[in-house]
Amino acid sequence: MPRLFDAYVIANWTAAEGKKLGEQSLWIAVAKRDVRMRLKVETHNAATRADGEKLLADILGDLNKRGDRALIGLDAPLGFPVGTAARLSLKDPTWSGLWAFLADNVRDKPDNTNNRYQVAAKMNRLMTDEARPFWGAPASQAQRWLTTTKPEGGYGDIPELRATEVAAKQGKLQPKTVWQMHGAGAVGGHALIGIPTVRRVVERLGSAAAVWPFGTGWRALTPEDVAPLSALVVEVWPAMFGGAPEPGEFKSQAQVRVAAETFARMDEKNELAAAFAPPKGASDDLIRQVETEEGWILGVR
């Protein structure tokens, strides 16, 4: 079977405020083949998300000119635990409705200042009228609907983790809940900030782009499935592939490089297609949950 993709773009997104380069900043790795079909990887650093989004658009434009079909992996949750959109009383209780809600509410300025804590507090108010399920904020951002620490009593009947994160824990990984907004390893801000970015990227590409598994189904993909696309967007977790920094590399830089190399090797060995499918024995309810609301981290089994 031929490869599904020609290039592999992995972006380590960030919710940080203020401009920053180097460690714990925005890195994008691009793995593509040269004229001799040898895989080459380059990494790029951006000081702000606006710079990173423009860089990503430029990279995709270059790949499109080459005629390369790209796998685009974003290191940010692309879905929320089942029932989130319904609790927000959205007309569209699917991932698409939630993406539209975030696009309408999140404000991310060119200097990296953003309103992610205010959006989390608003979602708490709409979902529970309490300081849950989102939690964690600097003292300066704490308010009635968002506290600095995890709420007593936890999340009530709201799931703490998505199914993909439960599976990751069973695989001995240590995923964080999307509800945590602040503190070591927190990914809640990544989701609130990252999803509107992905939505803009996909909208610019139009019918030439799709998001897995929402737009493709949670199933093994074939060359025929991706043939109409110039880009397939997926959720990734680069840290799960390890990747010790080479001399002169930052840790975040090494992680996106290794993730891009890993997916490229899997595709070369015809192993990547199966990674898009659900684990054996996945129920119809789980498949529906993942396809319509939660999404999945590519590579988690």
pLDDT digits (tens, 9 = 90+) for 128-159: 999 999 999 999 999 999 999 998 888 989 99
Whole-angstrom CA distances from 294 to 82, 84, 85, 95, 123 are 6, 9, 10, 7, 17
Q: How confident is the model at residue 237 (pLDDT cuts 50, 70, 90)?
A: very high
Percent of the chain residues topping a pLDDT of 90: 89
For 107, list phi and psi in degrees, rounded to 5: -120, 115
The boundaries of the domain holding residue 3 are 1-114+158-301
Give the model confidence (pLDDT) of 64-73 as tens digits: 999 999 999 9
> What pLDDT is stored for residue 201 in this prediction?
93
> What pLDDT is stored for residue 188 in this prediction?
96
Tell me the three state secondary structure of residue 128. Answer: coil
DSSP label at 141? G
Check whether 217 has a pLDDT greater than 80.
yes
Buried b (16+ CB within 10 A) or exposed e, 29-50: bbbbbeeeeeeebebbbbbbbe
Neighbours of 181 (CB within 10 A): 26
* CA 117 distance to own-chain centroid: 19
Crossing angle of helices 188-205/49-66, nearest 10°? 40
Its pTM stands at: 0.95
Residue 263 inside a domain? The answer is yes
> What pLDDT is stored for residue 275 in this prediction?
97
Residue 140 inside a domain? The answer is no
Check whether 267 has a pLDDT greater than 90.
yes
Residue 94 inside a domain? The answer is yes
Residue 55 inside a domain? The answer is yes
Give the model confidence (pLDDT) of 84-116 as tens digits: 999 999 999 999 999 999 999 999 999 999 999
Residue 7 inside a domain? The answer is yes
d(CA 173, CA 301): 11
> What pLDDT is stored for residue 50 in this prediction?
96
- Mean pLDDT, the chain, rounded, equals 95
> What pLDDT is stored for residue 6 in this prediction?
96
Mean pLDDT of 159-186: 92
> What pLDDT is stored for residue 262 in this prediction?
97
Task: Count up the domains in the chain and report the number.
Answer: 1
> What pLDDT is stored for residue 153 in this prediction?
85
Give the model confidence (pLDDT) of 22-63 as tens digits: 998 999 999 998 877 889 999 999 999 999 999 999 999 999
Neighbours of 157 (CB within 10 A): 8
Q: Which residue type does 173 have?
A: L
Residue 216 inside a domain? The answer is yes
> What pLDDT is stored for residue 203 in this prediction?
95
d(CA 122, CA 127): 9
Residue 164 inside a domain? The answer is yes
Tell me the three state secondary structure of residue 220. Answer: coil
SS3 content of the chain, % helix, strand, coil (to 5): 40, 15, 45
DSSP label at 84? H
Check whether 215 has a pLDDT greater than 90.
yes
Whole-angstrom CA distances from 65 to 60, 102, 202, 203 are 9, 32, 17, 19
d(CA 162, CA 296): 8
Residue 183 inside a domain? The answer is yes
Check whether 1 has a pLDDT greater than 80.
no
